[in-house]
């Protein structure tokens, strides 16, 4: 499942952590690396941090540990001369210890992880396999590179976690949505009539095919630049199936130039099956569905050429489109074709709205199979989407109110920590 629009995750603990890490290393770069030992005549050495605790890094495959400590008494108070903390690690309690991290003062946590398994040609002595035990000690360092005494050695063992708790909101949301979907599908199967508002773009499909038949001109069907796994392209196949059935009845040609070989195979199968289902397998010509190129603008050039030479009566654009959307749609406009478009690429929607006659916006395109089939099962899924959308809207409104009132509970409830 490709998720390009879903929850992209909140900036949680890791952001703070990496931010501090960068800040820390920036500071370290300014520290003279002379490792001057504290002597009795120079500036005083800070006290080391205390109470070092090691815990397994949660939500991972067992390749990390979290080291926590109490600040040195000289960090922010006392001598106030701590600049950074240095964390050293060893595979055995007796050493040798190697430096694993430099953390800016004021911080009490560091995540040590390395998930790159060694191979023959790429050894990685730092790799932390699941179930491995590591020994740590910390030192406080001043701006002049004067080091505190070392803390006692503390150990921790990595654990392979079975569940990613940071993703819990996604799981709960997905399960609730699936239950609602199943319930409404069962409900719909029992024969309850569900109302769906008409979509002009879908209703225009049959008229557009009729127009092509009257004019004796072909229909051009563009599936966009997506792969066969994109939801928009899958919706494109559904509408293609409908278009192919009608054109088979009316004996109108439908041209499908594609730009992905897998899409080619599916498109050919879709059209072949459609012709078979309406009892006209003899009408099916696989050469009308052909591969052009996988490159964006050469594909545009090829399709524009077809538009201007064949002058199709109707152009369909159903799938994933990028910068080529307007070039294709304007050329179709010049060629005088009726145009119906549908895409989930928000950036291209304005171009399609401006240059084509009907546009299916995002989810309307996905809903096409429900509209065209009018099957209760399919309509049930539309209802489930509507109810979920209502719940999301409620959450958005309540969340906006809550966060304005300084009450972060709702936000924390839906935050995903990756």
Residues numbered 186-225 forming contacts with another protein, rule: CB under 8 A: none
Query: Which CA distances in Å does 404 have to 248, 393, 397, 407, 416?
Result: 59, 17, 11, 7, 21
Which residues are CB-neighbours of 322 under 8 A, at least 6 positions away?
Answer: 225, 296, 345, 347, 348
* Segment near another protein (CB under 8 A); pick from 65-73, 81-89, 111-119, 194-202: 111-119
- Member of 164, 187, 211, 311 binding another protein (CB under 8 A): 164
Residue from 163, 251, 407, 411 touching another protein (CB under 8 A): that is 163
Kindly determine how many residues on this chain lie close enough to bind another protein according to the rule CB under 8 A.
108
Of 26, 55, 176, 403, the one binding another protein by CB under 8 A: 26
174 near another protein, judged by CB under 8 A: yes
Asked whether 81 and 121 are in contact (CB, 8 A), the reply is: no
52 near another protein, rule: CB under 8 A: no
Q: Which of 143, 110, 108, 146 is nearest to 26 (CA)?
A: 143
The tokens for 321 are 């489109």
Segment contacting another protein by CB under 8 A, of 35-43, 70-78, 135-143, 236-244:
236-244
Mutual angle of helices 231-250 and 200-215, in 10-degree steps: 40
The answer to whether residue 147 forms part of the interface with another protein (CB under 8 A) is no
130 binds another protein (CB under 8 A): yes
Q: Choose, by CB under 8 A, the member of 354, 397, 401, 403 that binds another protein.
A: 354
Residue 234 contacts another protein per CB under 8 A: yes
Structure tokens that stand for 349 in this block: 């929607």
- Please report, as residue ranges, which positions from 69 to 98 form the binding site for another protein (by CB under 8 A): none
| Least Å from the CB of residue 42 to another protein | 26
Q: Does 5 bind another protein (CB under 8 A)?
A: yes
CA-to-CA separations, 406 to 47, 98, 397, in angstroms, rounded: 39, 44, 14
Q: Interacting stretch for another protein, rule CB under 8 A, among 75-83, 162-170, 193-201, 400-408?
A: 162-170
Contact assessment for residue 9 and residue 415, using Cβ atoms and an 8 Å cutoff: no
Q: CA–CA separation, 198 vs 181, rounded Å?
A: 21
Binding mask 264-293 for another protein (x = CB under 8 A): xxx-xxx-xx-------------x--xxxx
Q: How far apart are CA 222 and CA 255, in angstroms?
A: 8
Examine residue 60 and tell whether it contacts another protein (CB under 8 A). yes
């Amino acid at each position: 499942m490709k998720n390009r629009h879903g929850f992209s995750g909140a900036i949680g603990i890791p952001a703070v952590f990496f931010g501090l890490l960068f800040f820390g290393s920036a500071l370290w770069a300014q520290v003279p690396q002379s490792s001057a030992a504290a002597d009795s005549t120079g500036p005083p050495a800070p006290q080391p941090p205390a109470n070092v605790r090691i815990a397994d890094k949660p939500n991972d495959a067992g390749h990390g540990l979290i080291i926590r400590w109490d600040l040195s008494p000289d960090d922010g108070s006392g001598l106030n001369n701590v600049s950074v903390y240095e964390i050293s690690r060893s595979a055995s309690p007796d050493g040798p210890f190697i430096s694993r991290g430099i953390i800016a003062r004021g911080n009490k946590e560091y995540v040590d992880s390395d998930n790159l398994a060694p191979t023959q040609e790429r050894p990685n002595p730092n790799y932390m396999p699941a179930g491995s035990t590591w020994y740590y000690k910390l030192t406080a360092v001043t701006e002049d590179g004067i080091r505190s005494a070392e803390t006692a050695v503390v150990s921790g063992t990595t654990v392979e976690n079975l569940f990613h708790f940071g993703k819990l909101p996604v799981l709960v949301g997905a399960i609730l949505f699936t239950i609602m979907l199943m319930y409404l599908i069962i409900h719909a199967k029992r024969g309850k009539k569900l109302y769906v508002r008409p979509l002009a773009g879908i209703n225009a499909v049959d008229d557009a095919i009729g127009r092509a038949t009257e004019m004796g001109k072909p229909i051009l069907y563009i599936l966009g630049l997506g792969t066969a796994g994109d939801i928009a392209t899958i919706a494109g196949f559904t509408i293609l199936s409908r278009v192919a059935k009608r054109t088979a009845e009316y004996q109108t040609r439908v041209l499908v130039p594609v730009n992905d070989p897998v899409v080619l195979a599916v498109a050919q199968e879709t059209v072949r099956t459609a012709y078979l289902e309406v009892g006209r397998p003899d009408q099916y010509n696989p050469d009308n569905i052909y591969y052009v190129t996988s490159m964006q603008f050469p594909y545009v050039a090829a399709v524009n050429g077809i538009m201007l030479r064949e002058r199709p009566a109707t152009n369909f654009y159903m799938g994933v489109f990028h910068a080529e959307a307007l070039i294709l749609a304007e050329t179709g406009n010049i060629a005088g074709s009726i145009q119906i478009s549908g895409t989930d690429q928000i950036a291209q929607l304005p171009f399609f709205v401006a240059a084509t006659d009907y546009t299916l916006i995002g989810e309307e395109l996905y809903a096409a199979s429900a509209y065209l089939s009018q099957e209760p099962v399919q309509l049930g899924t539309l209802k489930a989407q509507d109810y979920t959308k209502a719940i999301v809207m409620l959450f958005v409104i309540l969340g906006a109110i809550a966060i304005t009132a300084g009450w972060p509970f709702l936000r924390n409830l839906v935050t995903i920590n990756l």
